[in-house]
A and B are shown apart, each in its own frame.
Chain A
Amino acid sequence: MNSKGNVIIFILIAFAAVLLLPPLIITVFPAAKYLFALIMVFIIWSTVRGYLGDGILTYLFTGILIYFLVIKWLTVTSSLFVFQILLGVGFGSVIMWGVGTRFR
């Protein structure tokens, strides 16, 4: 395999490893679940409050989102949260670069 293939494989491995990191942490340290839940609740609350301000609608929508995203699907949401952080620091460019080295 040439070096271009190695680049894309390493990027995909790093991508999968980072996405699997929150479920792994939660599995190894069950108490981390509460930490992730707290972070997600804070993010959801601040997001909805930023959109709607203080009011009954904020509580309603925050409650709905917390039920689905934190209580029901915490592992998926925490992985997506880590992915969002990575995109924010420019990890998407790395993926595009790796894909570009393979297909050009």
Chain B
Amino acid sequence: MLEPIILGFFEEMYFVIQVFIMISIISFILNHLGKGLLSIILIIVMFYVVFILIPAISIGAFMIYTLLMAGVSTLFVDFFFITAGQPGQQQQQGEERPDVLGTDVKERQKQLQHAHHASHQAIGMLQGLLKRGR
């Protein structure tokens, strides 16, 4: 009973989307070429493509373009990349939190300074020994 209503609704929504596609295309052509014979020819060609030649592909491409322009890609980035690496998830799995304060880097720098100092001392001692040997 509801099937004709639902199918009719979707058919009409397809037509509405095609109208929106034509509005976008006409606006694009008029902005770039102005009002002229070439614009009219291009608009007629695009009308044929959108409504008759490949309506399904046109609707799909326009929907993807509209969703991307509306910011759906940022939602996917939020979901797959940003929230996927939150520290709360790692705490739940019993792992240690990553060090974000840089204390491990400071420790490494101190160790490097100590090693540098020790190497200088060793070089000085070697030079002293060589001088004594002469």
Contacts and interface: CB of A to CB of B under 8 A. Distances in A.
Interface in A59-75: 61, 64-65, 68-69, 72-73
A68 to B, nearest CB: 5
Interface stretch (A9-17, A19-27, A89-97): A89-97
A57 interface: yes
Interface residues of B, number: 22
A64 B26 contact: no
B70 interface: yes
Contacts of B19: 61, 64-65
Contacts, number: 47
Contacts of A35: none
A99 B78 CA distance: 11
Interface residues of A, number: 20
Contacts of B89: 104
A96 B78 contact: yes
Interface in A40-78: 48, 51-52, 57, 61, 64-65, 68-69, 72-73, 76
Contacts of A5: none
A38 interface: no
A73 B70 contact: no
Interface string B1-35: 00000000100110110011011101100100000
19 contacts: A51-B24, A51-B26, A52-B23, A61-B19, A61-B22, A61-B23, A64-B16, A69-B16, A73-B12, A73-B13, A76-B9, A87-B70, A87-B71, A92-B71, A92-B75, A97-B78, A100-B83, A104-B84, A104-B89
Interface of A: 48, 51-52, 57, 61, 64-65, 68-69, 72-73, 76, 87, 92-93, 96-97, 99-100, 104
